[in-house]
């Protein structure tokens, strides 16, 4: 078993890089951010306010969460309901820092994440994977990019659905809020920084796979032509 941990700010390309790496290595993939988003979506749906840390924490601890670890088939089930699409809505994105900045919620979700990672080989991505969730991972990476590039990527990903002010809120404001508890913008000791500002996705994945190879983790499958 092995773990490749990828940290970084919003829009750096963590999710796509991690999924492509997991496919190449023939292993599982864990999107830890989806877990925070699920809590936010669930609280919104049940009327828990973002200014109610006790209510948010109680929901977080009591929820039944089933998150796929198959990089080719992602889904998130919350208390029996499919919230795969819901957790990506802009209003959930704007809400999620209310969850991630509550220490008790982070502690609960970190516990769940570590439990998942103990079950096999994973590429895991998020904001505190290299330092808190999997500090002993075989490969630890900080994936970053310039703020302007990150906002442009997120805007393209959403097909221009959000204006500049909303993008700044989703990218820069969330990074600032979340960094109050976890510094995911500076590489800790032993963590390799990959700046994706001037790199293609294929080049980023190639660098991750090179680090994996050096750690004795080798690809099991070839990437599809469209992912090269």
pLDDT, tens digit only, all 228 positions of the chain: 999 999 998 888 899 999 999 999 999 999 999 999 999 999 999 999 999 999 999 999 999 999 999 999 999 999 999 999 999 998 998 899 899 999 999 999 999 999 999 999 999 999 899 999 999 999 999 999 988 888 877 767 666 666 667 777 667 666 666 665 666 667 889 999 999 999 999 999 999 999 999 999 988 765 554 444
Query: What tokens were used for 179?
Result: 């960094």
Q: How far is it, in rounded angstroms, from Cα 190 to Cα 147? A: 24
CB 10 within 8 A of CB 125: no
Q: Could you identify the residue written with the tokens 């990527």? A: 153
Extents of the domains making up the chain = 3-227
pLDDT of residue 226: 42
pLDDT of residue 228: 40
Q: How far is it, in rounded angstroms, from Cα 18 to Cα 29? A: 7
Q: Give the pTM.
A: 0.87
Q: How far is it, in rounded angstroms, from Cα 107 to Cα 95? A: 19
**Strand locations in 139-200, DSSP E?**
139-144, 192-195
Give me the sign of the Cα torsion angle 181, 3, 114, 94: positive
Helix (H) or strand (E) holding 82: strand 81-82
Task: Fold for 3-227, please state it.
Answer: Rossmann fold (3.40.50)
CB atoms within 10 A of CB 127: 27
């Amino acid at each position: 078993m092995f773990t490749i941990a990828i940290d970084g700010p919003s829009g750096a390309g963590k999710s796509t890089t991690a999924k492509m790496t997991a496919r190449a290595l023939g292993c599982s993939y864990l999107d830890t951010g989806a877990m925070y988003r699920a809590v936010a979506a669930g609280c919104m749906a049940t009327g828990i306010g973002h200014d109610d840390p006790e209510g948010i924490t109680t929901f977080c601890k009591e929820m039944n969460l089933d998150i796929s670890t198959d990089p080719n088939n992602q889904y998130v089930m919350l208390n029996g309901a499919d919230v795969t699409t819901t957790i990506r809505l802009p209003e959930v994105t704007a809400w999620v820092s209310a969850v991630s900045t509550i220490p008790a919620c982070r502690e609960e979700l970190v516990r769940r994440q570590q439990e998942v990672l103990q079950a096999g080989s994973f590429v895991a991505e998020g904001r505190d994977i290299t330092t808190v969730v999997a500090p002993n991972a075989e490969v630890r990476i900080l994936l970053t990019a310039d703020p302007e590039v990150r906002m442009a990527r997120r805007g393209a990903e959403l097909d221009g659905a959000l204006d500049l002010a909303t993008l700044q809120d989703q990218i820069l404001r969330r990074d600032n809020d979340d960094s109050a508890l976890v510094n995911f913008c500076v590489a800790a000791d032993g963590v390799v920084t990959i700046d994706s500002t001037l790199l293609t996705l294929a080049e980023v994945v190639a660098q991750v796979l090179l680090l994996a190879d050096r750690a004795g983790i080798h690809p099991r499958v070839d990437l599809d032509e469209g992912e090269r």
